[in-house]
Structure 1
Amino acid sequence: MVGVTGTTRTPGYDEFGRYVAERGPALLRMARSLTNNPADAEDLLQAALVKTFLSWERISHPKARDGYVRRAMVNTQISEWRRKRLDIYPTDDVPEQRVDDPTWRSDLADVVGRAIGRLPDRQRTTVVLRYYDDLTEVQIAERMGVTLGTVKSTLSRAVDKLRRDADLIIERTTG
């Protein structure tokens, strides 16, 4: 296929573009969980997507694509950590620095996971599809076989229950 600029495009180019447009926000959230700032997360995702694009034709099953991109992000980030570690030189002088406790993220994820687990099945499914899988309300309605109004009201009730969840209230006031 020849593009507008006259360059030849790879056969899976359009399919890859649709995949990135659809799954990009969810993949960016994962990249943010691996990095310290949004700019690094965008760079990490871009590097992983380049690796994925180069192997796009070999990824035979569409459901394996997210796993491939996520693995590429993790491997790229591990390589970056190793490269940064080599830039650190030991010294006898220990600088005074505030060290943030990263465990709050895993603690919060655990509290949120348990709170979502306490929701009724339909509410839990709707919350997971909307906020974890990043589907639109229309896509959720199609997938669940319900009306758009049902999805909206179910999400509203679920979010209200989560706002009133005792563990999450404690986490918000102490965290």
Structure 2
Amino acid sequence: MSFDEWVDARVPALLRFAFLVTGSQHDAEDAVQAALTQACEKWSKVSRADDPDAYVRRMVVNAHVSRWRRAGRRELSVAEVHDTALTDVAEGVSTSDAVWRVCSALPRQQRAAVVLRFYEDLDYDEIAAVLGVSQVTVRGYVHRALAALRALLTDPNDPNDPSEEHDDGRR
């Protein structure tokens, strides 16, 4: 498959992935553009990889991390995400305002780990390779992120909440 054919087929998914990692449409487009520029230059190597999609996703993450390291900038949360071109349910859920507000509260690495685990459906070894950390670190990121998300989403007045400890020791 040629680079142009591959890009035509994969850009929408790469942009969705990058948006979830970066939290910004603008930063997502920048990260994808940087990754695709590198991928084009190295297409013979990328196309021979076991999983070219994973290879380029890693490039997207690296491009984003490099950008915020270089700039030394802080991430800004957005109040609303506007994108009327979404057609399937998964895309709608991934960009919904409520989901984004909760996920934007997570640190970058935790958010990236959650996106890779639950949106991209990667296993811990694959996530470790994408983020350039150990599998144990990835498990820690996901565990802490899920605990934080549970705390943010739990209604303290709900007596039926299974995440609350009961007096008799039941969970």
TM category (shorter chain) comes to 0.3 to 0.5
What is the TM-score normalised by the length of structure 2?
0.43
What is the TM-score normalised by the length of structure 1?
0.42
Which has the larger Rg?
1
